[in-house]
Chains A and B, each alone.
Chain A
């Protein structure tokens, strides 16, 4: 399983863009990159997933360079409610029994 490395924490202010970079040097060919958000005492919530280049949905963008050894989650114009822990995971989601290994995550604090 590919290991991921993320910053432990990041502070931001309301309305700013937050970019969290995750390193996954050992990512395998079949691995996808998935980001989850977790609030205290709740289960993780899926944010976005990608394989290469750029993926955008209604809440975030995911940038993946050609070598796929890293990825950057971009949260546009954050609000106080975006304060949470964000996890980057890599795994082969073509296998039903695919295990996800959670790294330390990045604790994002959005300040007013």
Chain B
């Protein structure tokens, strides 16, 4: 249980185009999803927190107009990289929280999406 998927697993796009990445919780309802970005040999960096039915909360330094996040349902959040540039090339990872009972949540990560902007 508690599986999170991402689509696509990798994508190559031309500079100036937009790319949408989907994050789905397959067997649970996720009230909160998170989006991370990871550059080679670096740690994960949180970009934004996405709550179902409300606007995402972006971390400092992350452009909300460039990285559009939509969390329209309890099982789907999307990240759209608008007007992508080569410096946006990175590994994008989502995670979703699931109630574990005993008043605790656990965070489950997707497999990641490799974005390459040419």
Contacts and interface: CB of A to CB of B under 8 A. Distances in A.
Nearest to A97: B32
A112 interface: no
B43 A96 contact: no
A13 to B, nearest CB: 23
Contact of B103 (A87, A94, A97, A99): A94
B46 A101 contact: yes
21 contacts: A32-B104, A36-B109, A43-B112, A44-B109, A45-B109, A87-B44, A93-B104, A93-B105, A93-B106, A94-B104, A96-B99, A97-B49, A97-B51, A98-B97, A99-B34, A99-B49, A100-B95, A100-B107, A102-B36, A102-B44, A103-B43
Interface of A: 32, 36, 41-46, 49, 87, 93-105
A96 B34 CA distance: 11
Interface of B: 4, 6, 31-32, 34, 36, 43-46, 49, 51, 91, 93, 95, 97, 99, 103-112, 114
A101 B44 CA distance: 8
A48 B97 CA distance: 16
Contacts of A98: 97, 105, 107
Q: How would you classify the secondary structure of chain B's contact residues: helix, strand, loop or mixed? A: strand
B93 A94 contact: no
Given A98-B97, A98-B107, A100-B95, 14 more contacts: A41-B112, A43-B111, A44-B109, A46-B106, A93-B104, A93-B107, A94-B103, A96-B97, A97-B49, A97-B97, A102-B43, A102-B46, A103-B43, A105-B43
A43 B104 contact: no
Nearest to B99: A96
B4 to A, nearest CB: 8
A87 B71 CA distance: 27
A58 to B, nearest CB: 17
Given A41-B114, A87-B43, A96 B32 contact: yes
